[in-house]
Amino acid sequence: MHVPAARIVSGLAAAALLVAATPATQPTLLGFTDGSSKTEREWEEKFKAIPQPANMRAAMQRLTARPHHVGSPYDKDNAEWILAQFKSYGLDAHIETFDVLFPTPLERAVELVSPTRFVAKLQEPALPQDPTSNQKAEALPTYNAYSIDGDVTAPLVYVNYGVPADYEELARHNISVKGAIVIARYGGSWRGIKPKVAAEHGAVGCLIYSDPRDDGYAGGAVFPNGPMRPADGVQRGSVEDMPMYPGDPLTPGVGATKDAKRLPISEAKTLTKIPVLPISYGDAQPLLSALGGPLVPNSWKGGLPITYRFGAGPAKVHLKIKSTWTLKPLFDVIATIPGSSEPDQWVIRGNHHDAWVNGAEDPIAGLVPELEEARALGILLKQGWHPKRTLIYAAWDGEEPGLLGSTEWAEAHADELRTKGVAYLNSDTNDRGYLGMEGSHILEKFINGVARDIDDPETHLTVWKRLQAATIQNGSAEERKDARSRADLRIGALGSGSDFTPFLQHLGVPSLNLGYGGEDDAGIYHSIYDDFYWYTHFSDTSFVYGRALAQTVGTASMRLADADVLPYDYTNLAETVHGYIDELQKLASGAANAARERNLEIEEGSFTATNDPHTPTIAPPALVVPPHMSFAALENAADSLTKAAEHYSQAYDRAMSSGDAERAKSSLAAVDAILAHSEHLFTDSKGLPMRPWFQHLLYAPGFYTGYGVKTVPEVREAIEQKKYGDVDAAVTRVAGVVNAEAALVESAASALGKGQ
């Protein structure tokens, strides 16, 4: 691809600047004494020079050459090739195998049966330009994994994104989905929420389609002329009820080893309740065009050249899906670099290797940087580098169907991970643009430090500086102020959608999810067109952001493994917890105001007065006004955490400025073992209400959002779901873990103080 001249010029200028900027002005790294910090930086500079775009390109071409989903021959072949790579880098590596329930389709059908007949294609055509698009025999067809089998014929109803609020809108129009097949568009929630909520409302089937406004022609030329989804492109994907528990549906909470105790399929709680199939917009248009009923609101309209209507009637649809329900093998590839002085503190770095089809962007664009990191670390080991802590480099299988490989591995090694896991670093897709940083807030300051040391390939600013600029450009007034004045850019909390979930939310291992993106649009997600041809034409075509990702995650891994003391920070954490409490208070008062306003409008007769007799609507139901709720216990706990964080920070600064490097080092070492439990303290083995697998009391995927995070989930979801009676107990439980965290940090602060 053509590289604009301006970029090369600015590259040269900035390179000069970088050389000039490198010297002594570099701050001491968090968790390191001055001396260790200098040594660390030298190793990191060596490290960052190693990853090569050409290697990543070659590895991507090899790994995406054939479909490599769970159970396919090329999935196993890839795992063995990755194993061989790790070994060739000089690392100790092996494959760990699990056996999981993974249904694949035998029969699929979607037909409009009235008022006219139309048979959906359910096929993505091969394209002559794209050499891997014709591997039909090996590829999984378009489907949603963990849909139950079904064969239903019923009226069709359009439900927008299919989230709970959409059903409130349907109710205003007196439209029920009871006994109907719903058609929802992708977006607005994780896909698995759509059939879940549809089933809760009595639907008997669910279609999910990709609207061209969201990732089709509205966003650019369609593949192969551009990056966007063509008319027959389909988004595959799992609809397993992952917010209940991810991983093998038959072995919740335990590794799906050969001899694991398995539930009968009939008792697996994470299969859908109704049959589901995904379809293209080419197939969706005739179905949606056939819908009658009232017009949908503007926010429900997509990009098809039709009038969007709710239904039901006259469109009637036949939906059929039948799968084989057998166990398939998983191949997790695990490479280990044992720690020299703290072998029982594990820093784990992972990316999955399985895909829905050829999977270039998802996940190989994230995996090939990981391989380059591993190669580079192998080279450093030979040059005499010895990480203090153990580094584990993992290539997970079965992420796509339900985080299978990571979850089963995490469950199989749960006891060890709960005590030894000090960080999990995840990546998945990777594209051009800005560094995305999400994760545990005890790592917020740490990862900001890493981002300050990575060069952006396009602007040759640091990736931190570029992200700050974007936050200023796109943020609200408050976000702009924050981005300008706060020492660290804020990182988002983690919901779900990739392999960090079992580590963070089941086991309490501090986690980060990292990746670049934001400059290129894409419409090939989970289709046969997410392949080497697409990626090398429309994404990070020169793999410079692949190199940036390797530099970012590799540096983070090394720094975590080498630090004199775990580079956790509690000041940002405490501030963030206070922010969450503010949000909860606003949520509660907002719910009260909304209920009062709604009830007043009902009382005033506003809904009756504004009813249009030509398109009648029904007033929404009156709401229970939530009682006043007390967050005092949580506020007090957060205050304690703030104080403890200040004490730790002061003690840390004193230890570091003592001028006696050896003494400082031993002070830090003394508290390392205490800090190692920081994140785990936020978990509770009883788990969240209705979903005990999720044990982290600060971060969880939303029960009705799926990927989207709910922070302080027990309290937040009690308010959102109007279970006001549950709020008090939830506040008490969360306050308990925050207080425990405060006590741990205080004990670390005083241990540090004693060391001086």
Task: Using CB under 8 A, pick the residue from 90, 303, 579, 692 that binds a copy of itself.
Answer: 303
128 makes contact with a copy of itself (CB under 8 A): no
478 makes contact with a copy of itself (CB under 8 A): no
Is 192:242 a contact under the CB 8 Å cutoff? Answer: yes
Token pair in block for residue 70:
């769970």
The whole-angstrom separation of Cα 551 and Cα 541 is 18
Task: Using CB under 8 A, pick the residue from 16, 21, 295, 618 that binds a copy of itself.
Answer: 295
The whole-angstrom separation of Cα 310 and Cα 296 is 6
Q: Shortest gap between Cβ of 452 and a copy of itself (angstroms)?
A: 14
Which of 363, 396, 370 shows the shortest CA–CA distance to 378? 370
194 makes contact with a copy of itself (CB under 8 A): no
Q: Which is nearer to a copy of itself, 41 or 432 (CB)?
A: 432
How far the first Cα of the chain sits from its last, in Å, is: 58
Q: Between residue 97 and residue 116, which ones bind a copy of itself under the rule CB under 8 A?
A: none
Q: Shortest gap between Cβ of 471 and a copy of itself (angstroms)?
A: 9
4 makes contact with a copy of itself (CB under 8 A): yes
611 makes contact with a copy of itself (CB under 8 A): yes
Token pair in block for residue 749:
């602060």
Task: Using CB under 8 A, pick the residue from 113, 260, 469, 623 that binds a copy of itself.
Answer: 469
Tell me the one-letter amino acid at 201: H
Site string for a copy of itself, 201-220 (x = CB under 8 A): -----------xx---xxxx
Question: How many other CB atoms sit within 10 Å of the CB of residue 551?
Answer: 26
- Only one of the segments 27-35, 266-274, 601-609, 669-677 lies at the binding site for a copy of itself (rule: CB under 8 A); that segment is 601-609
Q: Which is nearer to a copy of itself, 322 or 480 (CB)?
A: 480
Q: Which is nearer to a copy of itself, 106 or 295 (CB)?
A: 295
Q: Which is nearer to a copy of itself, 204 or 548 (CB)?
A: 548
604 makes contact with a copy of itself (CB under 8 A): yes
The whole-angstrom separation of Cα 393 and Cα 425 is 10
What lies within 8 Å, CB to CB, of 438 at 6+ separation is: 491, 492, 493, 494, 512, 513
14 makes contact with a copy of itself (CB under 8 A): no
21-58 as b/e: b if 16+ CB within 10 A:
eeeeeeeebbbbbeebbeebbebbeebbebbbbebbbe
- Only one of the segments 48-56, 242-250, 549-557, 602-610 lies at the binding site for a copy of itself (rule: CB under 8 A); that segment is 602-610
The whole-angstrom separation of Cα 272 and Cα 143 is 13
Q: Which is nearer to a copy of itself, 289 or 666 (CB)?
A: 289
Q: Shortest gap between Cβ of 294 and a copy of itself (angstroms)?
A: 10
Tell me the one-letter amino acid at 151: D
Helix (H, G, I), strand (E, B) or coil at 515: strand
473 makes contact with a copy of itself (CB under 8 A): yes
Task: Using CB under 8 A, pick the residue from 97, 114, 257, 459 that binds a copy of itself.
Answer: 459
Task: Using CB under 8 A, pick the residue from 39, 129, 589, 606 that binds a copy of itself.
Answer: 606
646 makes contact with a copy of itself (CB under 8 A): no
Q: Shortest gap between Cβ of 303 and a copy of itself (angstroms)?
A: 7
221 makes contact with a copy of itself (CB under 8 A): yes
Which of 181, 170, 177 shows the shortest CA–CA distance to 208? 181
Token pair in block for residue 476:
């609200």
Q: Between residue 503 and residue 562, which ones bind a copy of itself under the rule CB under 8 A?
A: 519-520
- Only one of the segments 40-48, 98-106, 192-200, 611-619 lies at the binding site for a copy of itself (rule: CB under 8 A); that segment is 611-619
Helices (H), 248-364: 281-289
Token pair in block for residue 642:
């703030």
Q: Can you count the helices (H) and strands (E) in the chain? A: 24, 18
Task: Using CB under 8 A, pick the residue from 253, 616, 621, 627 that binds a copy of itself.
Answer: 616
452 makes contact with a copy of itself (CB under 8 A): no
> Is there a cis peptide before residue 312, judged by omega within 30 degrees of 0?
yes
Task: Using CB under 8 A, pick the residue from 88, 307, 326, 589 that binds a copy of itself.
Answer: 307
19 makes contact with a copy of itself (CB under 8 A): no
Which of 86, 291, 193 shows the shortest CA–CA distance to 710? 193
Task: Using CB under 8 A, pick the residue from 308, 500, 568, 631 that binds a copy of itself.
Answer: 308
Tell me the one-letter amino acid at 96: E
The whole-angstrom separation of Cα 28 and Cα 140 is 51
Q: Which is nearer to a copy of itself, 3 or 632 (CB)?
A: 3
Which of 180, 119, 174 shows the shortest CA–CA distance to 293? 174
Helix (H, G, I), strand (E, B) or coil at 314: strand
The whole-angstrom separation of Cα 64 and Cα 539 is 15
755 makes contact with a copy of itself (CB under 8 A): no
Task: Using CB under 8 A, pick the residue from 349, 432, 445, 691 that binds a copy of itself.
Answer: 432
614 makes contact with a copy of itself (CB under 8 A): yes
Q: Shortest gap between Cβ of 154 and a copy of itself (angstroms)?
A: 24
The whole-angstrom separation of Cα 76 and Cα 333 is 10
Q: Which is nearer to a copy of itself, 454 or 742 (CB)?
A: 454
Q: Shortest gap between Cβ of 622 and a copy of itself (angstroms)?
A: 16
Query: β-strand 150-158 against 511-518: which pairing, if any?
Result: unpaired
Q: Which residues are near a copy of itself by CB under 8 A? A: 4, 6-7, 212-213, 217-221, 226, 228, 295, 301, 303-308, 432-433, 458-459, 461, 465-466, 468-470, 472-473, 480, 519-520, 597, 601, 604-614, 616
